[in-house]
Amino acid sequence: MDRANTGLHERLKKTTAISQLGQGMDVGALNDYSHQIALYLLLKVFKREINNNSQRQRRDLISMTTAVVKEMKLPINLEEIERLVDGVLYSGDPKQQSYFTARIYDEKAGEIREFKYRYLIPDREASNWQEGGSTVYMLSETAQEIIFITREILEEFGFDLEQFYTLQLIKNGNFTEAKSSVSNLIARVRNLIKKEKDWREDILRNPGLIFSAYKERKRRTEAEVREQFKDEKKVFNDIFVWQDRLDTFENVNRKEGELLFEELERARSLHDRLAELTISNLSLELQIRRDNPDIFWKTSRLSFKKDFWQNTILQEGLPRMELLEEMLNPLFSPAQDFIFPLAWAWSEQQLYSYLEESEAELEEFEVEAAPKREFDWELILDLWQDVFRELKEEGEFNLNQLNQLPPAEKERWLSQEINLELFMMFIITDIKLRLVEEYPGLDERLLLFKRLTEKNEEFAELAGKRVKAELNAGAEKLNLLDQFIISPYKIYLEAE
């Protein structure tokens, strides 16, 4: 007969670890929220762990916790944050590096036993102690169980956590439970596909939703979305490596494994479809923003008099009078930290569908091709070769060097609008220079590099280098005849 206490000891281990997380420490103003902050910290560490991000040292834990406290709009006190981090790492005095302990009942032994555990343990492989490296932390099995127990309610991290959970189950040969996890993956990706399709229909009917639902959608750049899908695709590849090892299992398990990988192939196919839809929707949003700037202009209905002065300051007051000056200064100060060419921003954005022919049974969407533009490439290459030559020889190029050019030369830079676009592209996102074949939708920075290399082979040395940008604080702005004015950025080659 089944006994009610079967598995009680193991259950008590999990519930004890969860209930004691972030407890038993004095962290001042954070006391009431220490459990929530500690769980959020474990999620952030686990996120980095599954993405092979080694930034999990104690100082990184403090930085992550500070970001959590700031996000929760709680008072930031570095001493309290360090105490909370140490309270997640160890029990009691951090110098002792003691385990957490609890006395819980073991139904098999019929007695109360001591249970020792930790939430974070050293990641020996990532720490590189032999080279004098600092300790890199990873989640213990106990902490992983906490994550997996709560994974169903973690919408933001759910998909990649489910992937990792599936991988762990396959490694252990637990194909039956892994199949259930794959079913969760399929259900989630189908739900995300449905949301993307609904979103497309909604914004086609009412473009204003792009702006009114901006926060709810948590919109990211196309580069960030592509990077996320790339990471998730890599996890799928890691999972399918284990398909070749099915021959080492017994016949029954091998059959279960074959059925499991059939389901995984479905999940991967649906995931690729989701990537296509998401990128396509981003392109559609960009097109709507370009063609309907008036929608954006009409969304702001904030009034300083009503929303800030009457409804906030007069009713609730200010803790310090100095805050009033800080609030009013931006309204009257002529100084601008960053000047962005709005006319350029709305003018000619490049839109591409990024959709490839697919044999999937799901419906495809048609996206209009990008309009073809004509440029004087001889002039463009003549102007940019000096920039790339300085990048090759000096490793950097300050944009405000163009201020020293004679007016006629500045006119040449302004005559080709793509020059201004290229500057902004280099500033906004970094890029790895590669020699690739031309195709519709090719990043125009790579197109420029390809044509420069064809004209002058010396630039081929830059292939494989990553170009980044940073603000040169205190320097003079770039000003081309008052027609193109931006902050004093410099582009540079990332050190190897």
Token code pair at residue 252:
């029954």
The listed range with the strongest mean pLDDT (61-75, 305-319, 353-367, 423-437) is 61-75
Give the contacts of 162 (CB within 8 A, at least 6 positions apart). 151, 181, 184, 185, 188
pLDDT of residue 164: 66
pLDDT of residue 62: 93
238/52 Cα distance (integer angstroms)? 13
pLDDT of residue 66: 94
pLDDT of residue 366: 41
Mean pLDDT in residue range 357-376? 48
390 has a pLDDT exceeding 70: yes
Higher pLDDT, 188 or 368: 188
Q: At what angle are helices 417-428 and 407-415 packed, to 10 degrees?
A: 80
CA atoms within 13 A of residue 259's CA, in its CB half-sphere: 14
Per-residue pLDDT tens over the stretch 168-200: 677 666 777 677 777 767 777 777 788 888 888
Per-residue pLDDT tens over the stretch 54-84: 889 999 999 999 999 999 999 999 999 999 9
State the chain's mean pLDDT as an integer: 76
How many CB atoms neighbour CB 256 within 10 A? 19
pLDDT of residue 227: 67
Q: What's the N-to-C CA distance of the chain in angstroms?
A: 66
239/252 Cα distance (integer angstroms)? 20
DSSP for 248-260, written as a single string: GS-HHHHHHHHHH
pLDDT of residue 140: 86
Mean pLDDT in residue range 404-408? 88
Beta bridge partners of 137: 122
pTM for the whole thing?
0.39
476 has a pLDDT exceeding 80: yes
CA atoms within 13 A of residue 481's CA, in its CB half-sphere: 12
Q: Among 128-142, 189-203, 357-371, whose mean pLDDT is lowest?
A: 357-371
414/485 Cα distance (integer angstroms)? 11
DSSP for 127-180, written as a single string: H-GGGTPPPPEEE-HHHHHHHHHTGGG-TTTHHHHHHHHHHHHHHTT-HHHHHH
305/385 Cα distance (integer angstroms)? 52
What confidence tier does 299 reach under pLDDT thresholds 50, 70, 90?
Answer: very low
pLDDT of residue 212: 60
Distances 270 to 193, 233, 236, 267 between C-alpha atoms, Å:
8, 11, 12, 5
Beta bridge partners of 480: 484
Domain boundaries, the chain: 8-149, 158-296, 306-339, 377-493
146/39 Cα distance (integer angstroms)? 9
Higher pLDDT, 101 or 218: 101
Rg, Å, the chain Cα set: 28
